[in-house]
A = this chain, B = another copy of it.
Amino acid sequence: MPDNEQKEQPRRRQARGERRIAQLLDAAATVFTTTGYTAASTNAIAREAGVSPGTLYQFFPNKEAIAIELGGRLVHEMQTAYGEALAPVDPATPLEEAVGAAVDRFIAFNCRHPVFFALMHGPDIPGRLTEEHDALHVALVGRVEGLLSSILPEAPVADIKRTAQMVLGIYMAGLELVLAHEGAERDAYIREVKTALTRYLDPLLGDRLGRPGLTTTP
Contact = CB atoms under 8 A, between A and B. Distances in A.
Interface of A: 33-36, 38-39, 114, 117-118, 121, 123-127, 129, 158, 162-163, 165-166, 169-170, 172-174, 176-177, 179-180, 184-185, 188-189, 191-193, 195-196, 199-200, 202-203, 215, 217
Nearest to A179: B126
A196 B203 CA distance: 11
Contact of A200 (B118, B188, B199): B199
A196 B184 contact: no
A10 to B, nearest CB: 10
Query: Which of A35, A126, A162, A188 has the most chain B CB atoms inside 10 A of its CB?
Result: A126
A125 B114 CA distance: 10
A166 B217 contact: no
A218 to B, nearest CB: 9
B162 A189 contact: yes
Contact of A172 (B35, B173, B180, B202): B173
A215 B195 contact: yes
Among all A-B residue pairs, the 8 with the closest Cβ atoms: A169-B173, A38-B38, A126-B179, A199-B199, A173-B173, A196-B200, A36-B125, A126-B180
Given A165-B177, A188-B217, A118 B123 contact: no
A38 to B, nearest CB: 4
Nearest to A203: B199
A134 to B, nearest CB: 11
A162 B39 CA distance: 29
Contacts of A195: 200, 215
A167 to B, nearest CB: 9
A185 B217 CA distance: 9
A172 B170 CA distance: 9
Contacts of A162: 177, 185, 188-189, 192
Contacts of A199: 199-200, 202-203
Given A165-B177, A195-B215, 6 more contacts: A38-B123, A39-B123, A126-B180, A166-B173, A170-B173, A200-B200
